[in-house]
Amino acid sequence: MEFRHLGRSGLVISEISYGNWITHGSQVEEDAARACVKAALDEGITTFDTADVYAGTRAEEVLGRALQGVRRESLEIFTKVYWPTGSGRNDRGLSRKHIMESINGSLRRLQTDYVDLYQAHRYDVETPLEETLRAFDDVVRQGKALYIGVSEWPADKIAAALKLADEMGLDRIISNQPQYSMLWRVIEGEVVPLCEEEGVGQIVWSPIAQGILTGKYLPGQPAPEGSRATDESGGGDFIKRMMSDELLTRVQELKPVAADLGLSMAQFAVAWVLQNSNVSSAIIGASRPEQVRDNVKAAGVKLDADVLKKVDDILGPVIESDPALTTTNTPKKRP
């Protein structure tokens, strides 16, 4: 395993982290989830990412149990707050009330006294940014989180948060967690340049595009049984937009490029996002331990410029890079 600083902070994290969105407490049984976490630890992963909303809070519980007995100081545990975790009017968003109540719930479920990184899962248009930043700062002052970050915030919101934190003398965000892959590059135009300048690192999710970049989905053929595309608990809906024959055909053309490098398609996809110097870590998910063991082999891989050009040439028309799309994940109102 290789390690990188998270943004310009002193926190060092594994450049491949383990995330449990859609899997723990939902797609896979707890025994399988524990086996995946053990495989991650065995392979040198020290960074684990989750969120209170995953599997209706069950994902945090499963991860907490799976990490019991591991020296806490040897881990970096990340979680998030924003989406509804209850039926009450205040069980959502980034108000002081929800942040303060949510961090306590997350710590209880994760069975830890603190998280290393606490992230705003989305931007909350219904709460003043000052209120959100002050509440996050108080969470840090109380020792319940060591650092703060955001997830899927567009560049203008990140810039506003950094400026306001400086003006108010509050802790700055050190990270953003966006979707990023060979196919989805919308952060490259505005988010990455801003974050490079301001010392904010990216912890990217879906580097394998929810399995699309493994090459297992073939054009003109039904999705393999048991794959993410057949998951009725949410995973299938997420990747429908990427199941076009043109996109799948172009992904198949990446196979000889990966083979020439001695990499599996998944390793190639993870290695690709790690070539971006603003990426501090790539999050992988798994339903089987062997997937973890395969993906971690992307750590430390260096791709030459000609390889990166081949990827661009092959995927060309199906690459999504419009910076305006960074705003599509900002809810216009609280859910």
In a domain, 333, yes or no: no
In a domain, 222, yes or no: yes
Integer Cα distance of 85 and 93 in angstroms: 10
Q: Please report the pLDDT score of residue 230 as a whole number.
A: 54
In a domain, 149, yes or no: yes
CATH at 11: 3.20.20.100
In a domain, 332, yes or no: no
Helix extents (H) in the chain? 30-42, 58-66, 96-110, 129-141, 155-168, 191-198, 235-239, 245-252, 255-260, 265-274, 289-295, 305-315
Angle CA(111)–CA(117)–CA(123) in degrees, nearest 5?
A: 115
In a domain, 161, yes or no: yes
Backbone angles phi, psi at 142, to 5 degrees: -80, -5
What domain count does the chain have? 1
pLDDT in tens, 6-51: 999 999 999 999 998 866 555 567 888 899 999 999 999 999 999 9
pLDDT in tens, 151-180: 999 999 999 999 999 999 999 999 999 999
In a domain, 298, yes or no: yes
Integer Cα distance of 271 and 296 in angstroms: 9
| 18 noted as active-site residue | no
In a domain, 335, yes or no: no
- Quick one: tokens of 34? 């524990």
In a domain, 132, yes or no: yes
- Residue 75's domain comprises 3-327
Integer Cα distance of 305 and 310 in angstroms: 9
pLDDT band at 223 (very low <50, low <70, confident <90, very high): confident
Selected catalytic residue, list 18, 54, 180, 217? 54
Integer Cα distance of 47 and 213 in angstroms: 23
pLDDT in tens, 264-323: 999 999 999 999 999 999 999 988 899 999 999 999 999 999 999 999 999 999 999 999
Residues 6+ apart with CB under 8 A from 252: 215, 218, 219
- Classify residue 150 by its DSSP letter: E
> What's the pTM value of the predicted model, to 2 decimals?
0.92
Name the nearest CA neighbour of 191 among 148, 155, 143.
155
Mean pLDDT over the full length of the chain: 93
Q: How far from chain centre, in Å, is Cα 247?
A: 23
Residues 6+ apart with CB under 8 A from 158: 150, 173, 176, 191, 194, 195, 198, 200
Name the nearest CA neighbour of 332 among 21, 72, 151, 123.
123
pLDDT in tens, 182-206: 999 999 999 999 999 999 999 999 9
Q: Please report the pLDDT score of residue 232 as a whole number.
A: 61
Kindly give the interhelix angle for 305-315 and 245-252, rounded to the nearest 10 degrees: 150
DSSP 51-81: -TTGGGGHHHHHHHHHTTTS-GGG-EEEEEE
Name the nearest CA neighbour of 19 among 266, 284, 292.
284
Angle CA(144)–CA(17)–CA(272) in degrees, nearest 5?
A: 140
